[in-house]
A and B are shown apart, each in its own frame.
Chain A
Amino acid sequence: MSNKIHSSEITPESVYLNRRQIIKASGLIAGSALAPSTANAGFFGLFEDEPDVPEQAVYQPKPLNISKKVPNNLNEALTPESKVTTHNNFYEFGTNKGDPAHYAKAFNPEPWTIQVDGEVAKPQTFDMESLLKQHAIEERIYRLRCVEAWSMVIPWLGFSLADLLKRVEPTSKAKYVAFQTLYDPERMPGQASRGFGGGIPFPYVEGLTIAEAMHPLTLLSVGLYGKTLPAQNGAPIRLVVPWKYGFKSIKSIVKITLTEKEPPTTWQVLAPNEYGFYANVNPYVDHPRWSQASERRISDAFRAERIDTLMFNGYGDEVAHLYKGMDLRKFY
C-alpha cells in the first residue's frame, strides 16, 4: 500500500471548517456536548460563535515556594480546590460560573508585566518572574464572599499590596489606588463579544482608598492551594480584599495607578444603585434585589450550607476603624 495521499482525499479547508461549524451547532461531539460550558450556553447562544478551546489547559499552575504560612484561625473548612477552580465569576471568559474554567484553557499568562504609576515617586513596570523572586510568598486563608451571596474559604498565596506600593513610593497626593485587568479580546473571548461577556464594559477596573490598599490584609495573590493561580482564578496576579465583596478582588491585573480622585469601578459604573465603590461585606445593607443577611458556603456537599453573613466578612476587628464615622448605608 502506498503512503501517498491523493489530493482528492484531502478535505478542502472550507468544507472542513463548515463541518466543524455544523458539528458544533448540533453539539454532536460527545466531549463538547458534555462539557458544562456547552450545557450552559443558552438557547440564543446557538447564534454566537463558540470560542475555540484546547482539550488541555495551555497553562498549568506550578508549585510555589511558600516562606510563611499564616495560621488558619478561621476554624472553617476550606472549600475544595476543585470547586475553587470551577466556580468563577470572570466575565472575560464567559458569564456562567463554569465558563472560565473551560474558556480560560487557551489563556497563557506568561510572560506578564504589571505597570505601577500615577501619584508615585518611582513609577515602575514589574515583570512577574522577578516579582515572585523579590517578594516572600505567604499563605493566607481568607473567606471570599461574593455579592451574589455565596462564599468560599480559600488558601491564597501572595504578598501584601502595601509591600509593592512602598517600592514605588506613593506621594502625598495618592489618595486612591486604581486597578485594571488585561484588555486583550483575542485572548479573552468575553471582551470580544457582548453576549459572551455579559455586556459589561471592558477592561474591568477596580479601586481602593489608599488606607484600604495599604492595609496588611489586602493581598496581591499569585497563587492558591500551593500553586500559581490557574487562569480562571485571575492568573498570574490578582487582588484579594477579604472584607469586601468578591467583585472588588480584580483579576489578571496589568496596571495599578495611584490617584488623587476616586477612580471609577466597573460594577459601580454599570449599576450605581446596586454596587458601590466601597462594597464592604455588610449583612445589614441588602442588595436591591436580594438579601445579604446570609450566604451559601460552597463546600464538598451537593447542597451548600447557608450561614449568617458577618459584618466586614468577619474581619471587623482589623478593618472597622477604616470606616469610622461613615454611613455604611450611604457608602455601600
Chain B
Amino acid sequence: MIIKTWLVKHISQFKLLLHLAAAAPLCWLAWQTYTEQLGGDPVQYLTHFTGKGGLNLLLITLCVSPLAKAMKWGFLLQTRRLLGLWCLAYALIHVGIFWWLDLIGRVDLLLSEVIKRPYISLGALALMILIALGITSFNHLRRRMGRHWQRLHNWVYLVAILVPVHYYWSVRSGLTEPSIYILLALLLLLLRYRKLLHWPLTKGIG
C-alpha cells in the first residue's frame, strides 16, 4: 500500500525513472563502443544487444496490464506507452545498426535480405507493426481513431510472437535462451486468452 500511494503521488518521477532505466543500457553500449571494448568486430554484438533489449522491453510492456489488473494498480497503465516507445526505439536502432554497419547502408542488400531470409522477413513485419503503433501513440490520434485504435494496437500480440521466433530462427546454436523467450511470450499471451479468442475484433484494455 505504501508503495502504491508513493507511486501514485510521484507518477511523473516514476516515469522518469523508467526512461532512465531504458536509456541506460544504450549509453553503456555507446561507451563500450567508443572505448573499443567490444572486440574485433562489434557489429554482431551491437545488433544482438539492441535486438535483445527491444525484446526485453516488449515483454516488459506486455507485463504492465496483467500486473495492473492483479494488483489493482490502474495507474500503471500510464507507463505502457513510454515502455512501448522505448521498445520501438531499440528496434529501430537494431535495424539501423544491421543496415548501416552490417550491410554498409546498401538499400539493395537490405531489401534482398528482407525478401530472402525468413527470419528477417518476420523481423521486418514486426518492426512495421511497431512503427504503426508508435505513430498512433499520440493522445489526439488515439481519440480521433476511437475504437479502431485498440483494434490496431492489439496487433502487438502478433509482434510478441514474431520477435521471439525471429530471434530463435536467427541463431546458429544455443537455442535455450530464444526458447525461454518464446515461452515467456506465450505465457503473457495466455494471460489474455479470453481476449485473444475474439481477436482481432476485441476492444478494451489489453
Interface of A with B (CB < 8 Å)? 34-36, 39-40, 42-44, 82-87, 91, 95-98, 101, 148, 150, 194-195, 198-200, 270, 286, 289-291, 294, 296, 298, 302-306
Contacts and interface: CB of A to CB of B under 8 A. Distances in A.
A44 B177 contact: yes
Contact of B40 (A194, A270, A298): A298
B101 A303 contact: yes
Nearest to A99: B39
Given A43-B52, A44-B177, A148-B172, A290 B41 contact: no
A150 to B, nearest CB: 6
B174 A195 contact: yes
Contact of A86 (B39, B56, B173, B180): B39
B43 A200 contact: no
A200 B40 contact: no
B170 interface: yes
B86 interface: no
B117 A290 contact: yes
Given A44-B176, A44-B177, A303-B101, A291 B113 contact: yes
B190 interface: no
A199 B44 contact: no
Nearest to B113: A291
B41 A199 contact: no
A289 B117 contact: yes
B173 A198 contact: yes
B72 to A, nearest CB: 29
A327 to B, nearest CB: 22
A298 B176 contact: no
Nearest to B45: A40
Interface of B: 32, 37-45, 52, 56, 100-104, 106, 109, 112-113, 116-119, 169-170, 172-177, 180
A87 B37 contact: no
Contacts of B119: 289
Contacts of A42: 52, 177
Contact of B176 (A96, A148, A194, A296): A194
**A-B complex: 9 closest residue pairs judged by Cβ atoms:** A87-B40, A98-B39, A83-B40, A198-B173, A86-B40, A198-B174, A306-B104, A86-B39, A87-B41
A245 to B, nearest CB: 12
30 contacts: A34-B37, A35-B37, A36-B32, A36-B38, A36-B39, A39-B37, A42-B52, A82-B40, A84-B40, A95-B173, A97-B44, A97-B45, A98-B40, A194-B176, A195-B174, A198-B174, A200-B173, A270-B173, A289-B170, A290-B113, A290-B117, A291-B112, A291-B113, A291-B116, A298-B40, A298-B41, A303-B101, A303-B104, A304-B104, A306-B109
Given A289-B169, A303-B104, A195 B39 contact: no
Contact of A199 (B32, B113, B176): B176
Contact of A98 (B45, B100, B180): B45
Contacts of B44: 97
B20 to A, nearest CB: 18
B157 to A, nearest CB: 23
B102 A296 contact: yes
A87 B36 CA distance: 13
Contacts of B41: 83, 87, 97, 150, 296, 298, 304
Given A86-B40, A87-B40, A195 B106 contact: no
